Structure 1
Amino acid sequence: MKLLVRLLRINCFLSVTLFISSCSGKSEKTNQSLEQSPFEGMVLIPEGTFIMGGTNNDAMEDELPPFKVNVSGFYMDQTEVTNAQFLAFVEATGYITEAERDIDWNEMLEQLPEGTSKPPDSLLKAGSLVFATTDGPVNLRDYSKWWKWTVGACWKHPEGPESSIENRMDHPVVHVSWNDAQAFAKWAGKRLPTEAEWEWAAMGGLQNPIYPWGNKSVNQASDQANFWQGLFPYHNSEKDGFFGTAPVKSFPPNGYGLYDMAGNVWEWCQDKYRFDVYSQYKKKAIIENPTGPETSLDPEDPFVEKYAMRGGSFLCNDSYCSGYRVSRRMKSSKDSGFNHTGFRCVKDI
């Protein structure tokens, strides 16, 4: 995704065409009860053993093969980190997010073809990627059709310099990179969840659910999460009541008391992303507390180190991205930010 960000920034200069890639059945709830946490806004996620990875026909290649995992108990934020919480962090530390910093051309050059000329300085100004609806159907493998590089877009200005979070303090913070999320987590005395912790928590005590709410089809679940209803990326019927992000706790929590484990915004995880890591895990009978691969590998963008994201966003739709499934994986470079990407934290017991 880092390469996408870099190329979109100078798309008009280089005239580059961008191509990247981005249930049914009954579920039975376990006898897990919602346990209180001594930490405000967090809940205790119990220790457990589960099958991690895709177990239904919608599974992507990087969700396979499924394998057995044991996860120790931990505390997890009930909600995605909000604008109000991130503002407190910024005011306390003076932190400046990566979307608020001008682009380092020498760093960008490492991700571009040899001989690429430097673009005008105006294209290297601080900004981020903002979703823009299209006029009609487009190639769903060409993400550049609905992502617009916007100078001035950042966590304080989600849609660009004219927008504001003044009335969105209870919405999840967006345009935060993995590095930004790490900085917040360290300040808060927490950390980012591993993919295994995130997936186990998203299941909410259900046995192999497709979604955090169970197995009810997304076509019948507009009251369960914030995602795209209609024809992506040009018509959103907004059956769930929202076009963009929603205030946290707008939808029912899962069995562990966690909100928005599906939809709203993608959530950064601690792990590096590797498309074939599950094949490596499958070689063992059970994996204890996996923390991800030592090295990253994305065949579609092999020269950029990627980190994992989970949970889907308000842009997810079955036509191209079933990100609201508990096993669905996404990835991006650690310095990338978008207006559908946020995070939540965990804390060790």
Structure 2
Amino acid sequence: MKITTFHFPFFLLFLSGLVLVSCNRNGVSSKTGVPYNDPYNGGLQINRKVKEGPGPGLIVIEGGTFVMGGSLNEDITYAHDNLKRRVTVASFYMDETEVSNADWLEYLHWLNQNFPDDNELYYNALPDTLVWRHPLSYNEPYVDLYLRHPAYQDYPVVGVTWEQANAYSAWRTDRVNEHILRERGALVDYRTLSESQSRPGEPFNTDIYLNGQYRGEGIDGERMPQDNRPGAEDGARRPVRMEDGILKQPYRLPTEAEWEYAALGLVGNTEYGNIESGKVYPWNGLGVRSAKRRTQGLIMANFKPTGGDNMGVAGYLNDGGDITVSVTSYLPNDYGLYNMAGNVNEWVADVYRQLSFEDFQDFNPFRGNVYMDKAYEDAEKGIIAKDRYGRPIKVPAKAPRKQTWEELQAASGDSTQNSFDYDVRGFADETNSELYGVTTLINDKARVYKGGSWNDRAYWLNPATRRFMQQDQSNAMTGFRCAMTLVGSPEINTRSKPTFPANRSAGQGNRKFLGLF
């Protein structure tokens, strides 16, 4: 076959186009043509192959639209505090189970190991086991045994305040990220750390690490990422960055909307974008007993059916629990979450207001925004101020948007000047301190809890019911579970619907320029 001279340039052009496209897939800017991850042109590192996954203990909750308050088929308290409104909840992660006693003992053990002389820190983290006391009940054994006895290690922790739950979530974030970095070799491994004579002076903190303030001998691991910046020495290493896609987002309490959405688990009642049947509880049906043949008649949650009946008749206990039960008891809902009804009530992040349904955003509604910023020890150098535990010091936000450089320098170290209303959790609702405790129990420290407990009637098992308690209070019926924001695409379940083919032709501009289309 004779190949004319006309075909050679075209063939070479075609090959060059393939090379450009191939390079683009391997890390070339589609807007400038400059390669990523090249130490000779600046060393910008862009990671295209990061696949986000949940942190330990979490499962993914695909978000969507639902009618918040829609599952409430009766309002026996006449509170009218969760009237129906349609909202959208973004996809997120949520703990499969409630936080257990064993989980909390791990937290206490870490505090004792790292701050052995700080009795105040340890004491403040202890749950209030005195919540079991009641003047007309003999619950004294639970005071000493419930938290620490191995028989209760998989039972949900109780006696924790909203504030303690948030402190645990922050601690958990740092421990998970620290473990990831030590396993990858970006930080020294646990054995080397324990045997080292030059142990770091303060524990790992994610924000401090990302700001480059947690480095040095006895900290840096041997398998840190390569430093591709111009001028860096051969074999130079750097700390992990958020851009690497290695570290996890913060653990936190779920918002009320997230919690209610996840508890309902309507994903199991949905087909082709239609919710075919609603729910009153996290399971299908109007009753609290199983209708399936193999489990027919079994109670679906741990609650109190009637006064004086916490567990049924000897020989055939109805729910198998006198107080709480293991966090993996009963069947999970359609998202795979255990005990989203009964066992213990669960703290959520929101401030309680009876009229929250009137003042809300229809995307990720949340009432409780208090805008805080990390304080700078040296704003010009970008050094974050730390407390005695190595955590960043948080101060009220000074502006609703990014400050100018001059404003940032002027405000550095001055926490007194603040014209911005950083506390909008009440949406300008005024609270009268003189009436608190007299005619109202609602103020800016009233926090929502949901789900019903071992000591509640079936009404409170409905995900739309809501109650409140002061954020520094606790009881024997309330625990919590953590959530985490999901980053990237919200779509999880794609098998049940048609999808467009993935567009993998990044760099078409190059191909069009070359005349290939």
Note the C-alpha offset of 1:326: 1.1
Q: Say which SS state the counterpart of residue 87 (structure 2) adopts.
A: strand
Q: Counterpart of 2:449?
A: 309
Distance 1:83 1:127 in 2: 12
1:135-180 per-position Cα deviation (integer Å, ceiling 9, x unaligned): xxxxxxxxxxx8x9x9xx8xxx8x2236543211111111110011
Q: 2:144 aligns with which of 161, 169, 174?
A: 161
Q: How does 1:157-306 map to 2 (within 5 A)?
A: 159-161=142-144, 164-189=148-173, 190-204=251-265, 205=267, 206=269, 207=275, 208-218=278-288, 222-229=298-305, 231-233=306-308, 236-237=311-312, 238-281=317-360, 287-292=362-367, 294-295=425-426, 300-302=440-442, 305-306=445-446
Q: 2:58 aligns with which of 42, 51, 58?
A: 42
Query: Cα distance 1:265–1:97, how it changes in 2: closer, same or farther (>3 A)?
Result: farther
Letter in 1 for 2:464: S
Letter in 2 for 1:329: R
Q: Given that residues 108 and 125 in structure 2 are in contact (C-alpha distance below 8 angstroms), is that contact kept between their aligned partners in structure 1?
A: no
1:95-136 per-position Cα deviation (integer Å, ceiling 9, x unaligned): 5365859xxxxxxxxxxxxxxxxxxxxxxxx763227596xx
1:55-103 per-position Cα deviation (integer Å, ceiling 9, x unaligned): 44323524432101101111100000011111111111245365859xx
Q: Say which SS state the counterpart of residue 332 (structure 1) adopts.
A: strand
Q: Counterpart of 1:128?
A: 130
Q: Counterpart of 1:64?
A: 82
Q: Given that residues 347 and 479 in structure 2 are in contact (C-alpha distance below 8 angstroms), is that contact kept between their aligned partners in structure 1?
A: yes
Q: Say which SS state the counterpart of residue 279 (structure 1) adopts.
A: coil
Percentage of identical aligned residues: 32
Q: Counterpart of 1:92?
A: 110
Q: Say which SS state the counterpart of residue 150 (structure 2) adopts.
A: coil
Distance 2:123 2:287 in 1: 37
Q: How does 1:67-86 map to 2 (within 5 A)?
A: 67-86=85-104
Query: Cα distance 1:346–1:302, how it changes in 2: closer, same or farther (>3 A)?
Result: closer
Query: Cα distance 1:269–1:162, how it changes in 2: closer, same or farther (>3 A)?
Result: closer
> RCO higher in 1 or 2 (8 Å CA, sep ≥ 6)?
1
2:465 matches 1:325: no
Distance 1:127 1:88 in 2: 17
1:202-257 per-position Cα deviation (integer Å, ceiling 9, x unaligned): 1112443110012331266753111113x325665241111111011111000000
Query: Cα distance 1:127–1:226, how it changes in 2: closer, same or farther (>3 A)?
Result: closer
Letter in 1 for 2:303: F
Q: Say which SS state the counterpart of residue 460 (structure 2) adopts.
A: coil
Q: Say which SS state the counterpart of residue 163 (structure 2) adopts.
A: helix
Note the C-alpha offset of 1:290: 0.9
Q: Given that residues 71 and 462 in structure 2 are in contact (C-alpha distance below 8 angstroms), is that contact kept between their aligned partners in structure 1?
A: no
Query: Cα distance 1:41–1:305, how it changes in 2: closer, same or farther (>3 A)?
Result: closer
Q: Given that residues 194 and 269 in structure 1 are in contact (C-alpha distance below 8 angstroms), is that contact kept between their aligned partners in structure 2?
A: yes
Distance 1:305 1:62 in 2: 21
Q: Given that residues 78 and 258 in structure 1 are in contact (C-alpha distance below 8 angstroms), is that contact kept between their aligned partners in structure 2?
A: yes
Q: Say which SS state the counterpart of residue 96 (structure 1) adopts.
A: helix
Q: How does 1:94-109 map to 2 (within 5 A)?
A: 94=112, 95-96=121-122, 98=124, 100=126
Which is richer in strand?
A: 1
- Larger-Rg structure: 2
Q: How does 1:134-145 map to 2 (within 5 A)?
A: none
Q: Say which SS state the counterpart of residue 166 (structure 2) adopts.
A: helix
Query: Cα distance 1:68–1:248, how it changes in 2: closer, same or farther (>3 A)?
Result: same
Query: Cα distance 1:130–1:169, how it changes in 2: closer, same or farther (>3 A)?
Result: same
Q: 2:472 aligns with which of 335, 338, 341?
A: 335
Q: Given that residues 344 and 452 in structure 2 are in contact (C-alpha distance below 8 angstroms), is that contact kept between their aligned partners in structure 1?
A: yes
Letter in 2 for 1:45: I
What do you get for the CA RMSD once the two structures are aligned? 2.9
Number of residue pairs the alignment of both structures matches: 263
Q: Given that residues 129 and 159 in structure 2 are in contact (C-alpha distance below 8 angstroms), is that contact kept between their aligned partners in structure 1?
A: no
Q: Counterpart of 1:53?
A: 69
Distance 2:54 2:357 in 1: 34
Query: Cα distance 1:219–1:250, how it changes in 2: closer, same or farther (>3 A)?
Result: closer
Q: Tell me, which stretches of 5 or more residues in structure 2 are unaligned?
A: 1-51, 113-120, 174-250, 270-274, 291-296, 369-424, 487-517
Query: Cα distance 1:303–1:326, how it changes in 2: closer, same or farther (>3 A)?
Result: closer
Distance 1:182 1:91 in 2: 18
For normalisation by structure 2, the TM-score amounts to 0.46
Q: Which deviates the most, 86-95 or 58-67? A: 58-67
Q: Say which SS state the counterpart of residue 161 (structure 1) adopts.
A: helix
Distance 1:233 1:279 in 2: 38
Letter in 2 for 1:291: F
Query: Cα distance 1:323–1:133, how it changes in 2: closer, same or farther (>3 A)?
Result: farther
Distance 1:99 1:129 in 2: 15
Query: Cα distance 1:71–1:325, how it changes in 2: closer, same or farther (>3 A)?
Result: same
Query: Cα distance 1:288–1:315, how it changes in 2: closer, same or farther (>3 A)?
Result: same
Q: Given that residues 83 and 165 in structure 1 are in contact (C-alpha distance below 8 angstroms), is that contact kept between their aligned partners in structure 2?
A: no
